[in-house]
């Protein structure tokens, strides 16, 4: 009677339950997860501590350490076991901005929007200098600037990097786009573009990079006071990058500010017109070299089945960010959702058959280092495909790292056998907009580390919102950009996926093992 009543309740809110002989969904558990995840969520509170309280979380920075320590303690508070920081290997120098002020003072005063490039030094106090335009395409062109840059603020003769656009910033997937994804066939090879290292494009790229290194070394040797570089972005948005290496052996460089396109072009126009432009700046950055190791946050809900508890399900997202803001959509959103999924499962007193493990990665932005290091330590080496015993015991890894948008489905990463399973698991969430299963691959984040050693690794399809246009790696990536209902929806669906992965009779089907990367 209770079960019939529950089915009626689910149908009344638009949930339909699938009838597949090979896969089932427990409607009572789905309802418990939905109730906790949608009506008693803590995801925004978690996101607040990871962003506003912790601050920017560049790899190796104090902000990342604050967020990591808070996450470990919070996971312990929720009752998870084995919550800790786990070293994955050497990273390099930490770095943070402690002061950042810059303004033009002649021909008039105007504070500019500018972010220090990561791993660049400060100015050593307040500096004032004339702006000088450097236009050079080769090392020979630099000769005319010898003896002329000391104490100057260098700006490059650069066109605007982004054309003005009248497209909307934020968007969700349309039904047509989702249908196209669902009907897609497998991409060639592994879904990545294949580049010829001997192609003219590669040669031009190598030449440009070599000259950029020569150019900045020249400017440093000439003792310029500061470099202004033009940031990608419009309307005051600055998409930031690094201006030097994080390696503890990296050579010294000049202070460098990544400047909004509007301020950059104004200064450049004035200077090229022969107008005197003076800029003052006071930038203080700190390098941290006491601990060069990188760390991941890990915690578990131990399995309870005698035969299955040695098997593991993992979920995760990267906790590190860039430094221009507080990394809300990239990727406090994913980290908060994954923590919330674990909280939901603990709150409903779920006793999983298999062990459930969360991992919040570091140094993802520098090359998936946290997850790659973890995979190398636990599961195997993708270069040689020498696998460790734990590799056979991991059922699946689920990742979230595409902003604040709600889940619309899942990428199979070419694992066609998992498709019918995931379609069944998404059925109870049609009313929340999650329906699409696509054979396609998606790249650029930590599920690839697992896929590389033959472990089923998946990234969820998310609405883009304004991730690519406004928040990704930018000074706009703040808590205010998060959409609460979307994060609640995502945590609820992922908690359900984790539950189903834990309880099903078999592990998630696997693709054919990839070839050793060293052989490719």
pLDDT, tens digit, 9 for 90 and up, residues 389-401 = 999 999 999 999 9
Neighbours of 379 (CB within 10 A): 23
H/E stretch holding 176 reads helix 175-182
Q: Identify the band that residue 11 occupies on the pLDDT scale cut at 50, 70 and 90.
A: very low
What does the alpha-carbon distance between residue 361 and residue 15 come to, in Å, rounded to a whole number? 34
State how far the Cα of 410 lies from the Cα of 459, in Å rounded to an integer.
6
Look at residue 496 and give its three-state secondary structure. Answer: helix
**Strand pairing category for 127-134 and 94-106:** unpaired
Name the pLDDT band for 187 (thresholds 50, 70, 90). low
CA distances from 89 to 324, 376, 457, 474 (A): 26, 10, 22, 28
Work out the pLDDT band at 202, boundaries 50, 70, 90: confident
> In the predicted model, what is the mean pLDDT of residues 74-93?
98
Closest CA to 397 of 336, 458, 471, 480: 458
- Mean pLDDT of all residues in 95-123: 98
Cα angle value 73/77/78 (rounded, 5°): 120
Phi, psi of 163 (to 5 degrees): -75, 145
E strands, 302-374, where? 312-318, 355-361
Q: Is the pTM of this model over 0.85?
A: yes
pLDDT (tens digit per residue) in 37-74: 999 999 999 999 999 999 999 999 999 999 999 999 99
Q: How far apart are CA 516 and CA 507, in angstroms?
A: 24
Mean pLDDT confidence for 170-188: 91
Tell me what pLDDT residue 411 has: 98
b/e burial code for range 30-49 (CB count within 10 A of at least 16 → b):
bbbbbebbeeebbbeebbbb
The per-residue pLDDT for 165 is 77
Q: What sign has the CA pseudo-torsion 402, 406, 408, 412? A: positive
Residue 7 confidence class, pLDDT cut points 50, 70, 90 = very low
Helix extents (H) in 427-505: 447-451, 484-503
pLDDT of residue 198: 77
Task: Write down the pLDDT at residue 188.
Answer: 55
d(CA 215, CA 206): 14
Question: What confidence score (pLDDT) does residue 195 get?
Answer: 55
Mean pLDDT score, 449-456: 98
Q: Is the pLDDT of residue 14 over 50?
A: no
Q: Tell me, what's the pLDDT at 207? A: 86
**pLDDT value, residue 162:** 76
Provide the sign of the torsion angle of the four alpha carbons 488, 494, 497, 499, taken in this order. Answer: negative
| Average pLDDT score, the chain | 93
Q: How confident is the model at residue 477 (pLDDT cuts 50, 70, 90)?
A: very high
Q: Average pLDDT of 208-228?
A: 95
* Span between the terminal Cα atoms of the chain, in Å: 59
Higher-pLDDT residue of 194 and 204 is: 204
| Measured distance CA(231)–CA(102) in Å, rounded | 15
The pair of three-digit structure tokens given for residue 15, joined into one six-digit string: 């949930």
Instruction: Provide the H-helix boundaries in 354-505.
Output: 369-378, 419-426, 447-451, 484-503
Rounded to an integer, the average pLDDT of 318-332 is: 98
Question: Could you tell me the sign of the dihedral formed by the alpha carbons of 382, 509, 436, 11, in that order?
Answer: negative
Which residues pair with residue 381 across a beta bridge?
A: 386
Report the candidate in 222, 240, 186 with the shortest Cα–Cα distance to residue 472. 240
How much is the pLDDT for 145?
97
The whole-angstrom distance between residue 40's C-alpha and the CA centroid of its chain comes to: 27
394-399 and 386-387 as β-strands: parallel, antiparallel, unpaired?
unpaired
């Amino acid at each position: 009677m209770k079960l019939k009543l529950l089915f009626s309740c689910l149908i009344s809110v638009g949930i339909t339950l699938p009838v597949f002989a090979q896969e089932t969904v427990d409607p009572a558990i789905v309802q418990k997860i939905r109730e906790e995840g949608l009506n008693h969520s803590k995801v925004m509170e978690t996101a607040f501590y990871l962003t506003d309280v912790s601050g920017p979380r560049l790899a190796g920075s104090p902000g990342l350490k604050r967020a990591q320590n808070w996450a470990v303690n919070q996971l312990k508070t929720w009752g998870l076991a084995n919550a800790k920081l786990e070293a994955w290997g050497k990273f390099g120098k930490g770095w943070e901005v402690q002061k950042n002020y810059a303004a033009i003072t002649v021909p008039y005063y105007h504070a500019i929007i500018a972010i220090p490039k990561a791993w660049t030094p400060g100015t050593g106090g307040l500096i004032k200098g004339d702006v000088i335009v450097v236009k050079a395409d080769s090392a020979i062109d630099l000769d005319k600037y010898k003896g002329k840059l000391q104490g100057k603020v260098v700006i490059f003769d650069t066109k605007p990097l982004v054309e003005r656009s009248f497209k909307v910033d934020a968007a969700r997937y349309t039904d047509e786009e989702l249908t196209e994804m669902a009907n897609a066939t497998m991409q060639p090879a592994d879904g990545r573009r294949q580049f010829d290292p001997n192609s003219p494009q590669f040669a031009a790229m190598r030449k440009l990079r070599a000259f950029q290194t020569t150019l900045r070394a020249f400017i440093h040797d000439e003792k310029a006071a500061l470099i202004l570089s033009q940031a990608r972005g419009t309307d005051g948005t600055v998409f930031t990058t690094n201006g030097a290496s994080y390696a503890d052996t990296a050579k010294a460089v000049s202070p460098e500010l990544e400047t909004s396109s509007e301020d950059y072009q104004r200064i450049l126009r004035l200077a090229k017109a022969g107008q005197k432009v003076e800029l003052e700046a006071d930038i203080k950055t700190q390098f941290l070299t006491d601990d060069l190791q990188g760390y991941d946050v890990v915690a578990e809900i131990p399995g309870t089945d005698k035969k299955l508890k040695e098997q593991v399900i993992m979920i995760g997202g990267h906790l590190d960010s860039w430094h221009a803001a507080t990394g809300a959509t990239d990727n406090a959103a994913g980290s908060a959702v994954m923590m919330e999924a674990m909280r939901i499962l603990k709150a409903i007193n779920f006793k999983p058959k298999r062990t459930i493990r969360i991992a919040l990665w570091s140094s993802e932005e520098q090359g998936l280092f946290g997850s790659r290091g973890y995979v190398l330590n636990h599961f195997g080496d993708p270069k040689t495909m020498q696998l460790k015993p734990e590799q056979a015991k991991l059922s699946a890894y689920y990742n979230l790292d595409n902003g604040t948008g709600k889940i619309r489905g899942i990428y199979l990463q070419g694992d066609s056998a998992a498709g019918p399973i995931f379609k069944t698991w998404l059925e109870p969430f049609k009313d929340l907009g999650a329906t699409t299963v696509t054979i396609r691959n998606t790249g650029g984040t930590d599920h690839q580390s697992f896929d590389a050693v033959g472990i089923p690794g998946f990234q969820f399809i998310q609405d883009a919102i304004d991730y690519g246009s406004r928040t990704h790696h930018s000074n706009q990536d703040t808590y205010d950009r998060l959409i609460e209902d979307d994060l609640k929806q995502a945590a609820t669906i992922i908690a359900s996926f984790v539950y189903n992965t834990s309880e099903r009779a078999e592990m998630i089907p696997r693709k054919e093992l990839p070839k050793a990367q060293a052989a490719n």
